[in-house]
Amino acid sequence: MTSTLLTGIGLLATQDPELGELSDAALLIEDGTIGWLGPRAQAPAADRAVELAGRCVLPGFVDSHAHLVFAGDRAAEFAARMTGQPYTAGGIRSTVQATRQASDQQLRTNLARLAAELLAAGVTTFECKSGYGLDVETEQRSVRLAGELTGEVSYLGAHVVPAGIDRTEYLELVCGPMLQACAPHAKWVDVFCEQGAFDEDESRAVLTAGLAAGLLPRLHANQLTAGGGVRLAVELDAASADHCTHLSRSDIEALAGSNTVATLLPLVEFSTRSPYPDARSLLDAGATVALATDCNPGSGFSTSMPLAIALAVREMRMSPAEAVFAATVGGAKALRRNDIGQLTVGRRADLTVLDAPSYLHLAYRPGVPLVHQVWRAGEPAWTSSALQ
């Protein structure tokens, strides 16, 4: 077993409410996990030491919502939207066509590039959905390829009803042969519960079938309209209800009284020029809030968790501390994980080192690449090239 001491940490923002924030700190990594943390002056000996010269250390960000298996892009659709055309769920179908035509290797290359972007943005764990295949073969390819890079794979056959197939027939496919083909490669079942995609009863059928196949439910809920998605998420004890842009008072109360995380995706509101979710009401009611990128080629093509944090602070009135908590602990809870998201003894040594004295700079310096180094399971996984 080798040990590494990270020392000279200007601010160690543990995200553990009991430990809080430590200044002039050190952290010991042993065998990929956190062995000790505390004041630098009390640090134990280690095989090697890394001096961080006053930088801030956070848990690696946990991105609990991303769509990374696809081909092509929709830059022209984005440009049209910025000159006045509204966003609708139907644009997904153009990505489906490109994805079906792509080879495994093309999909793998695109996925690896986006995963590298996430890592450079300080993300050490990400979730990845299928949903641009919408036939048995391409959905299975999608979950299989996603599984090469992450253990957090979601089967999203119920993204939209593709062109050229009857709605009832497609739902039978999603709950039957497509599910059976994808379930061995996935942990989660997801559904886009929205006008223009799937209604509450259809979504319940998909998630229930997924549960029966051994998958855990999560869903896209209340993004464009105040439908029944959040209600359904709480009813099924889904790990997360994602988007939560249009909520009723009873939706907020239901989330606050449940184990379902409200995952907010402000990069989508930014990229579709839409009103942001009411994070304040959720937090004040006691709901657990996560922040994720929702990186996808249509409604928001960004891998920048730091920008999501800046938007949460500037546009959604979350405090910088609440936003960082949501991007770490919130994301871990949205994936029902207790081995990541906080810097405490025994957790995985997934760390993001900022080239800044405090995490406040994530929102204070929007758009500036502040990630200095990323550690995953106790090993350096990425270092800013400007500083090598």
CA dist 177 and 158 (Å) reads 13
Smallest distance from Zn ion to CB 270, Å = 14
Smallest distance from Zn ion to CB 78, Å = 16
Q: Please, which residue, 152 or 294, has the CB nearer to Zn ion? A: 294
Write the interaction track for Zn ion spanning residues 63-102; mark x where CB under 5 A is met and - where it is not. Answer: ----------------------------------------
Half-sphere exposure of 337 (CA within 13 A, CB side): 24
Report CA-CA distances (Å) from 38 to 19, 35, 43.
Answer: 9, 11, 7
Smallest distance from Zn ion to CB 269, Å = 13
322 binds Zn ion (CB under 5 A): no
Q: Please, which residue, 252 or 265, has the CB nearer to Zn ion? A: 265
The stretch among 79-87, 102-110, 290-298, 300-308 that binds Zn ion (CB under 5 A) is: 290-298
137 burial type by CB count under 10 A (0-12 exposed, 13-18 middle, 19+ buried): exposed
Size of the site for Zn ion (CB under 5 A): 1
Contact 234, 255 (CB under 8 A): yes
Q: Please, which residue, 30 or 294, has the CB nearer to Zn ion? A: 294
Q: Please, which residue, 294 or 322, has the CB nearer to Zn ion? A: 294
Instruction: Give the residue carrying structure tokens 């998201």.
Output: 341
Of residues 97, 96, 103, 181, the one with CA closest to residue 144: 181
Q: Please, which residue, 13 or 241, has the CB nearer to Zn ion? A: 241
Smallest distance from Zn ion to CB 339, Å = 24
Smallest distance from Zn ion to CB 220, Å = 5
- The dihedral region occupied by 193, where left means phi > 0, alpha psi between -120 and 50, and beta the remainder, is beta
Q: Please, which residue, 50 or 92, has the CB nearer to Zn ion? A: 92
Contact 223, 296 (CB under 8 A): no
Name the residue with the smallest CB distance to Zn ion.
294
CA dist 66 and 121 (Å) reads 14
Of the candidate residues 294, 322, 350, 355, the single one contacting Zn ion (CB under 5 A) = 294
The stretch among 37-45, 89-97, 292-300, 329-337 that binds Zn ion (CB under 5 A) is: 292-300
Smallest distance from Zn ion to CB 239, Å = 14
Q: Please, which residue, 242 or 355, has the CB nearer to Zn ion? A: 242
Show contacts with Zn ion in window 109-138 (CB under 5 A): none
Q: Please, which residue, 269 or 294, has the CB nearer to Zn ion? A: 294
Contact 59, 27 (CB under 8 A): no
Smallest distance from Zn ion to CB 159, Å = 8
Contact 69, 130 (CB under 8 A): yes
Structure tokens at 314: 């500037």
Structure tokens at 164: 């050229």
Smallest distance from Zn ion to CB 164, Å = 23
Half-sphere exposure of 41 (CA within 13 A, CB side): 1
The stretch among 51-59, 100-108, 291-299, 345-353 that binds Zn ion (CB under 5 A) is: 291-299
Q: Please, which residue, 15 or 272, has the CB nearer to Zn ion? A: 272
Instruction: Give the residue carrying structure tokens 């943005």.
Output: 121
153: which residues sit within 8 A by CB, 6+ positions away? 127, 128, 129, 130, 143, 146, 147, 185, 186, 187, 188
Residue numbers at the binding site for Zn ion (CB under 5 A): 294
